[in-house]
Structure 1
Amino acid sequence: MTIRTVLVTGATGKTGRRVAERLAARGLTVREGSRSGQVPFDWEATEGWAAALRGADAAYVNYYPDLGAPGAAEAMTAFGAVAAEAGVRRLTLLSGRGEPEAVAAEEALRTAATGVELTVVRAAFFAQNFTEGLLAEGVTAGELVFPAGDTPEPFLDVADLADVVVETLLTDAHAGLVHELTGPRALTFDEVAAELSGASGRPVTYTSVTREQYARLLADFGIPGPEAEWYADLFTTLLDGHNVDPTDGVKRVLGREPRSFARFAAED
C-alpha cells in the first residue's frame, strides 16, 4: 500500500511533533492536526474530524489526555467510523503500556474502523516527561516529586516511539499488530534523578509521595480536581510494578536497540 498523505493528531505535542517531522523528512504530505494549527483537529469537536481526515491515506491517532481516560473508548468508536467513511486505509494508535482502560479503547477503534488497517503501539513512560511537561519544572528546580516509590520503569525515548510510528504507517508488515515499546533497562526514579544530575551538572533529588499527596500537588499546580485525581490514579497504577520488564518492541520494528535513558539525558 502506498501512503502519501498522513493526518497527525496532536501534532504540537511530544509525540505528534516528532512524528510529523519524520514523515515530512520522508517526503510525505503531512496534515498537522491540532486545536490551533493549520489543520483544525480537536478531540472535543467531532464535527471537524471528517474534514481533517478527508483525502488522507493514513493517520497517527494520539488521543488527549490519554487513551485510558474516561470517554476515550467512545471517542475511538466515533473516530473510527469517521476514518472509515473518509476512506483512510491505515491507522497507528498510541496507547499506554499496562493500561486496561486503554485496551478497551483500542478495541473500540478496531471495531469501528471497518476495513482500515490498525497498528497499536503501547508505550512505556516517556523519558521526555522529565524535560517536557509537568515534571520538567520540578526537575529544573532540582526536585523530582512523584508517587513511584522505588519501582523501576523502562523509560521510552519519544524519538524511538516516533521512529516506530513512522515505520508502522509507511510499511505493510504491521497491520493488525500490537507493539509494546520500552527503553532497554528499567530505572528507579532515584536512578533517574542521578542520571539527570550527572548530565546537567545540577543536583536533582527524588522525593516519593503518596497518591493522595500527588493529587493535591497537581491540584495546587492548577489541574482541576477530578483530572488531578485521575492522573494520580493513573501514575500509581502504572508504577505498581507490573510494567517493570523491558520489551524488545523497538528492536523488532526498527532492527536496532532503543536509546538508553543515559543517552537521552546526555543529548536532550
Structure 2
Amino acid sequence: MVRLTTIPCTGVMTPKPILILGGTGKTGGRVASRLTAKSVPVRIGSRSAEVPFTWEDETTWAPVLRGVKAAYIAYYPDIGAPGASTTIASFAQLAVSMGVSRLVLLSGRGEEEAERSELELRKSGAEWTILRCSWFNQNFSESFMLGPVLGGEVMLPASDIPEPFVDVEDVADVAVAALTEPGHVGKLYELTGPTALTFAEAIGEIAAASGRDIRYQQISVQDFAAGLATEIDEQDYVEFLTYLFAEVLDGRNANPADGVFQALGRQPRSFRDYAKTAAATGVWTVNA
C-alpha cells in the first residue's frame, strides 16, 4: 500500500490589484483612497510610484500592467489633447493582451480627441466604461484656478454660456463602482452637476461661501493665453486650456446630464455644496 501524504498549502492567494493611472491627481487620488478603504489592492501609476509610469515612455507601461485585473485611465495632460487617442489605443491594446479585463476611462464632454479616445477604448476588446465629465468643481480649489481665486480676481475668456460643473467626489464614486461592481460594463456615463452656472455665477458662489470679495472679469482668448504662459511652464497644457475656452465652452455642454444618477442611483453634488465644503477647509482663506 502506498501512503499518501497531504502537504498543507502555506501559500496565500492575493487578489490582483487595480491600476490607477494618475493616482496622485484630482480623480485618481480619490479613486485610490476609496478602493483602499474597501480593502481592494491598488497599484498607483505615476512618475514617482514604486514602479514608475509615464505616458511618454511606452517601456513603462508593461511593468505597471503586469498582474493587474482592471485599470482606471486618466490621461495626462488631458484626454482631449492632440494625440491622446493614438496613445490610448496603444495602451488599451497592450492592457488587453496582458490579461487586464476591465478598463475605465476618464473622458471629457464635447472634445473631439476625447471622443476618438473613447472609440479606441471600445475597440480594444476590454470590458469598458467611459466617464465623460464636464468641467470639475475642484479646478477652482486644486488646480490652475486656485491662484486667481486667492488673488481676488478671476479673468477668463468665458462668456455667459453656462457649464454644469461636476464634483470630482462624484466622479470618483462612479469610477469605483465601475471598477468593482457589476452592471457598468459597456456604459458611457455623462457626469455633470445638477445645474449649469456661468463662470461668473460660480465665482459668486465661491465668494459667498468664503466671505470674500472675488471679482470675475471676461477677457479675450489672446490675453488669457498670454497670462497662462507666464504661470505655466508646459506649453502643451497652455494650448489645451486655450482650446477649451476658445472652442469647447461654446454651449455644446451647457445642459446637465444624468450620468451620476444612472451609475449611482442618487443626484450629483451641487456647486453650492462644493463651495461651502471647500471654503470650510480654508483653501480660499487669505492670511493678512
Give the TM-score band, short-chain normalised: over 0.9
Identify the residue that residue 258 of structure 1 maps to in structure 2: 268
2:261, 2:268 within 8 Å by CA — same for their partners in 1? yes
Note the C-alpha offset of 1:110. Answer: 2.5
CA distance in 1, matches of 2:194, 2:130: 20
On the 8 A contact 1:216/1:228 being kept in 2, the answer is no
Find 2:172's aligned residue among 143, 162, 166.
Answer: 162
**1:39-80, CA deviations, whole angstroms, 9 ceiling, x for partnerless residues?**
311111110111101111100000001111111111111101
Rg comparison, structure with higher value: 2
The 3 A distance-change label for structure 1 pair 222 and 252 is: closer
Q: Deviations over 1:97-146 (max 9, x none)?
A: 111211111112322x23x1011010000000000111100001111121
Task: Determine the structure 2 residue equivalent to 1:150.
Answer: 160
1:5 matched residue in structure 2:
17
RMSD (CA atoms): 1.3
- Using the TM superposition, give the Cα deviation of residue 222 of structure 1 relative to its aligned residue in structure 2, in angstroms: 3.3
Matched residue, 2:135: 125
1:249 — aligned with what?
A: 259
CA shift for structure 1 position 191: 1.0
Unaligned stretches of 5+ residues in structure 1 = none
1:229 corresponds to: 239
In 2: Cα distance, 1:95 partner to 1:46 partner = 21
**For 2:180 and 2:246, how far apart are their aligned partners in 1?**
35
Q: 1:44 aligned to 2:56?
A: yes
Identity %: 47
Aligned residues: 264
Relative to structure 1, the CA distance from residue 86 to residue 221 in structure 2 (aligned partners, 3 Å threshold; closer, same or farther) is same
After TM superposition, the structure 1 stretch with the greater mean CA deviation from structure 2, 162-171 or 32-41, is 32-41
How far did 1:252 drift? 1.0
Asked if 1:17 corresponds to 2:29, the answer is yes
User: Aligned to 2:253, what secondary structure does the other structure show?
Assistant: coil
TM-score by length of 1: 0.95
- Pairwise mapping of residues 197-212 of structure 1 onto structure 2 (< 5 A)? 197-212=207-222
For residue 216 of structure 1, give the secondary structure of its aligned residue in structure 2. Answer: helix
Where do 4+ consecutive residues of structure 1 move more than 6 Å?
none
Q: Does 1:90 align with 2:102?
A: yes
Aligned-pair distance for 1:224? 4.5
Residue 193 of structure 1 pairs with residue 208 of structure 2: no
Query: If the length of structure 2 is used for normalisation, what is the TM-score?
Result: 0.88
